[in-house]
A = this chain, B = another copy of it.
Amino acid sequence: MNVAIVGGTGYGAVELLRFLHNHPYVEVKKVISHSNSGTKLAEVYPHLVNVVDIEMAELDVHTLAEEVDLVFFATPSNVSKRYIPDLVDKGVRCIDLSGDFRLRDGKKYVEYYGEEMAPQSYIDKAVYGLSEINKEAIKQAMIIANPGCYPTATTLGLIPVLEKGLVNPNSIIVDAKTGVSGAGRKLSLNVHFSEMNENFKAYKVGVHKHIPEIEQMLSERAEQAIQVIFTPHIVPMTRGIMSTMYVDMKDVYSTEELIQLYQEYYQTHPFVRIRKEGALPATKEVYGSNYCDIGLYADERTGKLIIVSVIDNLVKGASGQAIQNMNIMCGWEETTGLHQLPIYP
């Protein structure tokens, strides 16, 4: 199958290439970059020298539709919505790593993204690509709204207890921490090395774009409107996300019981791993891989359940899950091309 990647100079694109390079059924036919069209990808990313010999091109919907069957958009917000409708109309499936098609409620998009939303009819067509949860819908989708990094770690950690009704859905606090690569390659004082190294910061408290996305997914699974407190922080490391989550248990459950519930819930999902009692996952334990690792601690003293969920923000939080979704769409084994183990240490 031939695919294209739009957004060739971002980290999302190079991660897609890292996995697609070893994918048995896919060839990357085109890499699109507006800012670098005409340039070889390996000139922008020397780690690809001698390996990836692709010259970046301008986006042209017509030729793209002729050359490829599927397009990945690894672009900032407010780009994919301009191209995906046309591509889909021409029969090209699209996986969008940006937020343009994630929110069903256009007002939320306007509020949190500060721009006009995508056309509603195409939003309606889009499937939210949380692979483990929406697998059936993903199989049929023409447009995948690939989940954000924080929402992936957060919702995978919360859905089992929410669905089972074991916790109070309006007590959710998410204290989230991300590595710096989530900020992308765009220069900013905030992620200037000397400012970020040996530093730990909270940011966008109460206003982060991922809040409505998390609430939408959780509300859907819990079948009631849910509000979450979500506080993102940035960690002086390149990769990794941890969501530490706090919820009120409706009854007294032991850590052991809950772990068993999670293991059963994710039994057929190879990329979600549940830690044993007494162990909590660290971000390095999923580094470079598509795993989401989850640990639980039921604090009997206070009645709170603490859930720790980790992913690599660029893999399960972006490009890895996008490929997982492509595999599902194409009827291939979900893990195809994603067999890389975490790189440790």
Contacts and interface: CB of A to CB of B under 8 A. Distances in A.
A179 B227 CA distance: 31
A108 B297 CA distance: 21
B200 A189 contact: no
A191 interface: yes
A156 to B, nearest CB: 15
Given A46-B275, A197-B197, A200-B283, A227 B175 contact: no
Nearest to A284: B199
Given A205-B280, A240-B200, A242-B202, A47 B286 contact: yes
Interface in A281-320: 281-289, 293, 295, 297, 299, 301-302, 304, 306, 308
A233 B227 contact: no
Interface in A49-93: 49-51
Interface stretch (A16-24, A29-37, A216-224): A16-24
Contacts of A275: 46, 49
Interface in A111-170: none
Contacts of A261: none
Given A18-B343, A202-B244, A279-B46, A197 B302 contact: no
Using C-beta atoms within 8 Å of the partner chain, give the interface range for chain A.
Answer: 35 or more
Pick the most buried of A46, A194, A237, A302: most chain B CB atoms within 10 A of its CB. A194
Interface string A182-203: 0101011101111111111111
Nearest to A195: B345
A342 B47 contact: yes
B175 A185 contact: no
Contacts of A301: 206, 227
B200 A198 contact: no
Contacts of A279: 46
Which 10 A/B pairs are nearest by Cβ-Cβ distance? A199-B284, A175-B175, A201-B282, A47-B285, A47-B342, A194-B345, A187-B187, A193-B196, A180-B193, A181-B194
19 contacts: A17-B341, A18-B341, A22-B22, A46-B285, A49-B273, A49-B293, A51-B341, A180-B194, A180-B197, A185-B189, A191-B194, A193-B197, A193-B236, A193-B238, A194-B345, A197-B197, A197-B198, A199-B237, A288-B343
